[in-house]
Structure 1
Amino acid sequence: MDIKLAKTQRLPMTKVVLLVIALLVGGLVVFTKAYTQSASNVVFQDELIVAKVQQGEFELSVKGLGSLVLEKRHLVTSISGGKVVEVLVKPGEMVTQGMIIARLENPALHQTLTQKQSLLSKTVAQHEAELAELKAKVQQAKTAHYDAFLAYKAEKAQWQAQKTLIDKGNSTISMLDHQRSEFAMQRSQKQVELQQTSVATQQAVLQAKMTAQQAEQASLYSEIKLLKENITALKVRAPITGQIQDVFIELGMQLASTSSVAEVADPRLLVAKINVAELDAPQVQVGQQATIDTYTSRFGAVVNRVSPKVVNGQVEVELSITNTLPIEARDKLNIEGVIVTSHQSNATFVAMPANAVANNQASVFVVDKHLATKKTVKFGQRSVNYIEVLEGLNKNQTIIISDMEKYTQDSQVLVR
């Protein structure tokens, strides 16, 4: 008799696989739950920017954007008016001091110069004739004075002789004749005085005339000199050695005196002007060291002026360049400037978190392996890229400095 054995039922393979997967997933969930503790969200490491807390010398600095500008610009103007007949330079060309950059034409100046020179010659001749006449009058007055003086001496000698004879008792000389001799002597003496006054008067007239003539001639000489200078100035020259920045004239233009012709500057005499935030401006002082970045080169500078005005929340700071300029340096080149305002010899600091504010508290995520925990940190002074840590972080801790605003409700997040 045949005995039938009961067949053992086996679970289908598919169910076995699903059971294994379920067990693995359950185990992973339990493991993850235990590993992440209270992490309520997940962030990916390649989306984060992290920084390590440092300790040591902390350099406080202020940053600003701006440009290089020419330290001095020379505006070339036309001393003389005239028509532009030649322009010899273009913007960007180098010129040396005294080099002709433009030529003007003004026939009226040449004509006026000829007329003034002719008038001067005529005036000088006329003055010489007037002086000759006045000198002759002076000489006549001197001659008359000398004749009067001789006459006085003769009258006085006669009166003296008569007086001597009368004093000796000589009766041949009457008192009447002696009296007449005395009157004649006095008249001659008075004539000498009058002639002496006449000489002084003629000499004064001569001197006054000479002074007036000299002033008149000097005026003409001055006019002629000015005309010659204006004619020479029709060749407009560069006042310094430098580079032509701009040219304001064209052929055929009629220029008045003091019209703008061109602008020239030494291209190597540059200063940097940057704008810093008005809240950072009080930290900036004249004499502080700075670094200028042209985005190609870096070189040193020093603060030499801080504007007292705030414009659109910015304060202009001017920096003098202390190092050799790089080859790309030129007027209006965009730059970035960093000014060192102070140093701290032993401070705790970290790269600037996105939500950090100087002298205030903020929450940051401290990373420990794959877990980031939110922590409140008290920050101090800020620099360009770093901020001082006063409380809440220790040296070598790693924090997330990128924007974590969407995780503000999380106390911990998992970092994958």
Structure 2
Amino acid sequence: MDVVKTKVVNRLALWQQALLAVAVIIVLTVLYQQLKSNKVSVARSQIIVAQVQQGDLDVLVSGYGILKSHRQQLLSAKTAATVQEIVLKPGAIVAADSVIVRLDNPELQQQLDNAKQELAKLRANLRQLTLNNTREVLNETATFAQINAEYENAKLNLAAETTLMKQGVVSSLNYQRSILNEAQLKQRLEIAKQRAVQLKAVHQEAENIQLEWINQQQGLVNTAKRKLDSLTVRAGFAGVLQNLAVELGQSLAPGQEIALIGSTKELIALINVSQNQVDQVAVGQAVEVDTRLAKVMGQVTRINPVVINNTVEVEVSLPEQLPENARPQLNIDANILVASLTNVRYIERPANIKSNSQAQLYRIDAAQNKALLTDIEFGRQAGRFIEIKQGLELNSQLIISDLTNLAQTHPELDIY
């Protein structure tokens, strides 16, 4: 019984294998026929179709970035100090005289007091010098007056003796003595005049020297006062406090950063543009800046030559009248008008297509039920549109969905 049963089981296993082989052959045949066919079908609802248009087209280079204050001022410590009080924090709107931080340094007050005392001493010395000079001038004036009186008296005496000499009343010796006395007094008078002039010049020079010392000391007082005043850190101009780099109780060294003030009205835009497109950008081109709530026109003023993270920074000047939400560090989008194309054919840019490139894409026929691969030459990109140089006529329809996987094996599609 066991032998007969074994033969039946073996016959059934062979029959099952034969059926499996036939099924595999049928499946392979069907797959082969499908692969052999160059046509596949796609639903119209599953593809994106665009139509070729003709007209004027603005070539735009898109970018993103932020608004930045055109005018900025870095506030730093003028001398060693300690942060005593923080009055305002980042984001605060400030006026020119707004106090940002108060610092403390007791030595500065002592320096100012010492400088003022020395200045007062020098001024007292000047007053003493002026008094001494006045006294000398008075003494010299009195001496001059005395000599002048003696000289006038000698002149009168000589005139009288000259008459008497002719009459023989005065001896020749006395007459000669009167002449000598008059000449000596005249000489003394001239010397007294010269001394008065020179004394005045000497006094003036001495006072000038004293004044120079006073001016120098006044400069030291002013410097000490400025250092003391600098402990009260003010904004300097109207704007916004963009950054505060200190903490309460922090010790500061001369020149250390305290805060950054930026203007709120005078703003510029810093746009990051792809390095592949920045070659089209030039200074002077118009720029449309989108602040999310409004759009404003600007102009390219500078192009940074450095590439960072595959982008190049483009600086854009903005008008004085800006949208209400415009403020420093606001994220923005921008479109730079790099060229204007006149009367060209264009279409909405297909997926994965770049400017000035060639590609094969599906063009829908007139019956709207088939699409054939067509060689197309593209030109410049303008926002979401791209110029067509060759391969498509006006009003032609093109599948702009990404069908790269089908285009490699199927030159024709059925559309239902």
Q: Bin the TM-score by the shorter chain.
A: 0.7 to 0.9
The reply on whether 1:335 has 2:332 as its aligned counterpart is yes
Q: Structure 1 residues 42 and 310, CA, compared in 2 at 3 Å: closer, same or farther?
A: farther
1:172-229, CA deviations, whole angstroms, 9 ceiling, x for partnerless residues? Answer: 4444444333322221121112111221222122111221222222333333343334
Equivalent pair of 2:286/2:300 in contact (CA under 8 Å): no
Superposed, which structure 2 residues align to 1:61-80 within 5 Å? 61-80=60-79
Of 313, 322, 326, which residue of structure 2 is paired with 1:324? Answer: 322
Paired residue type of 1:395: L
- By how many angstroms is 1:387 displaced? 1.7
The corresponding residue for 2:50 is 51
Question: What is the CA-CA distance between 1:269 and the residue it aligns to?
Answer: 4.3
SS for the counterpart of 1:133 is helix
> Which of 309, 333, 338 is the aligned partner of 2:305?
309
For these two proteins, the number of residue pairs brought into alignment is 376
1:66/1:335 contact within 8 Å kept: yes
| Cα pair 2:290 2:296 within 8 Å, conserved | no
CA separation in 2, counterparts of 1:399 and 1:411?
Answer: 14
Q: Which residue of 1 aligns with 2:152?
A: 153
State TM-score, norm by structure 2.
0.79
Cα-Cα RMSD: 2.9
Select which of 231, 235, 240 maps to 2:232. Answer: 235
Shift of 1:52: 0.9
Identity of aligned residues (%): 28
**Mind listing any 5+ residue stretches in structure 2 that lack a counterpart?**
1-36
1:217-366 alignment, distance < 5 Å: 217-267=214-264, 269-294=266-291, 296-307=292-303, 309-312=305-308, 313-322=310-319, 324-325=322-323, 327=325, 329-354=326-351, 356-366=353-363
**Change beyond 3 A, Cα 1:346–1:223:** same
Distance 1:324 1:280 in 2: 27
Separation (CA, whole Å) in 1 of partners of 2:327 and 2:209: 58
TM-score normalized by the length of structure 1 = 0.79
In the alignment, the residues of structure 2 paired with residue 412 and residue 293 of structure 1 have an alpha-carbon distance, to the nearest angstrom, of: 43
In 2, distance between residues paired with 1:170 and 1:110? 87
1:293 offset after TM fit, Å?
A: 3.5
1:372, CA displacement in angstroms?
Answer: 1.0
Give the aligned partner of residue 392 of structure 1.
391
SS at match of 2:388: strand
C-alpha distance after superposition, 1:348-390 (max 9, x if no partner): 1111234544445433321121211122233333222222223
CA contact (8 A) 1:95 1:241 kept: yes
